[in-house]
């Protein structure tokens, strides 16, 4: 039985002709396009796309926040919380995100001297107010007395809750809610500690408030 042979070039003149025609046409189209391109360029002047400004994006605004005495701006969606603005846009990660639902106190900051949960505060609503975070408590190399008290009293273990605890303690002392252990516990009850460092936190509060060690 004869082996089938591949078709010789001459055996498929139609195909060869078609391919040559196609190549010629393609070459012609390329040439035509090359010739036509200047005309096309004239007919369709280049359009420079408008720069995309985040502030022109629907729902995005320029938010101005005064944090730790410094005015900062960021292009943020109006739904962004103060917590996310601080951590993700202003490079201030000291304020911690625990529950993100207003129940743990890890995100506590001061707004005009009052403690506030930054996870429940819209960044846009914090404009025009003085915001203080844990990064703003120390004076240069000198720790805030509450920070020092936490170190002296071993008031933390993993440390995750500590920035929020310290911000709450400074406000708690300023509010005058440190008359006795029960009052301190009550007014610090919004700040949870997974490590259960509560006795040492209580001692730190009392030291910082000038009440002596627990």
- In the sheet that holds 60-67, the strands lie side by side as 70-77, 60-67, 130-132, 108-111, 114-117
User: If 0-12 CB within 10 Å is exposed, 13-18 middle and 19+ buried, where does residue 191 land?
Assistant: buried
Which of 164, 36, 181, 17 is CA-nearest to residue 98? 164
Q: Using the rule CB under 6 A, give the single segment among 40-48, 65-73, 91-99, 123-131 that binds ligand FES.
A: 91-99
Q: How many residues does the chain have?
A: 214
Q: Considering only residues 84, 86, 87, 97, which one is a binding residue for ligand FES as defined by CB under 6 A?
A: 97
Q: Nearer Cβ to ligand FES, position 24 or 185?
A: 185
**What span, in angstroms and rounded, lies between the C-alpha atoms of 68 and 178?**
26
Q: Considering only residues 63, 92, 119, 124, which one is a binding residue for ligand FES as defined by CB under 6 A?
A: 119
Q: Is 104 in the site for ligand FES (CB under 6 A)?
A: yes
**What span, in angstroms and rounded, lies between the C-alpha atoms of 16 and 31?**
22
User: If 0-12 CB within 10 Å is exposed, 13-18 middle and 19+ buried, where does residue 38 land?
Assistant: exposed
CB of 63 to ligand FES, least distance (A): 19
Q: Is 31 in the site for ligand FES (CB under 6 A)?
A: no
Q: Considering only residues 158, 180, 185, 189, which one is a binding residue for ligand FES as defined by CB under 6 A?
A: 158
Instruction: Quote the DSSP letter at residue 55.
Output: G
Q: Is 99 in the site for ligand FES (CB under 6 A)?
A: yes
Q: Using the rule CB under 6 A, give the single segment among 4-12, 22-30, 102-110, 130-138 that binds ligand FES.
A: 102-110
Q: Nearer Cβ to ligand FES, position 54 or 102?
A: 102
**What span, in angstroms and rounded, lies between the C-alpha atoms of 36 and 121?**
60
- 8 A C-beta contact, residue 99 and residue 108: no
CB of 165 to ligand FES, least distance (A): 7
Q: Is 117 in the site for ligand FES (CB under 6 A)?
A: yes
Q: Is 126 in the site for ligand FES (CB under 6 A)?
A: no
**DSSP SS3 for 134:** helix
Q: How many chain residues touch ligand FES (CB under 6 A)?
A: 23
Q: Using the rule CB under 6 A, give the single segment among 86-94, 139-147, 192-200, 202-210 that binds ligand FES.
A: 192-200
Site for ligand FES, rule CB under 6 A: 97-100, 102-107, 117, 119, 156-162, 193-195, 197
């Amino acid at each position: 039985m004869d082996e089938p042979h591949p078709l010789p070039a001459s055996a498929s003149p139609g195909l060869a002709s078609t391919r040559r025609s196609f190549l010629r046409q393609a070459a012609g189209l390329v040439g035509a396009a090359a010739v036509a391109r200047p005309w096309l360029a004239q007919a369709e002047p280049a359009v420079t796309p408008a720069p995309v400004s985040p502030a022109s994006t629907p729902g995005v605004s320029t938010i101005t926040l005064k944090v730790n005495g410094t005015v900062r701006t960021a292009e943020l969606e109006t739904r962004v919380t103060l917590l996310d603005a601080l951590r993700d846009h202003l490079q201030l990660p000291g304020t911690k995100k625990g529950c993100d639902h207003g129940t743990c106190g890890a995100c506590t900051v001061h707004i005009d001297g009052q403690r506030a949960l930054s996870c429940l505060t819209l960044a846009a609503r914090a404009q025009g107010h003085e915001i203080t975070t844990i990064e703003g408590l120390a004076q240069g190399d000198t720790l805030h007395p509450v920070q020092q008290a936490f170190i002296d009293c071993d008031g933390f273990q993993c440390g995750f809750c500590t920035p929020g605890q310290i911000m709450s303690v400074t406000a708690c002392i300023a509010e005058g809610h440190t008359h006795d252990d029960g009052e301190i516990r009550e007014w610090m009850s919004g700040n949870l500690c997974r490590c259960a460092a509560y006795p040492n936190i209580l001692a730190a509060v009392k030291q910082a408030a000038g009440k002596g060690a627990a």
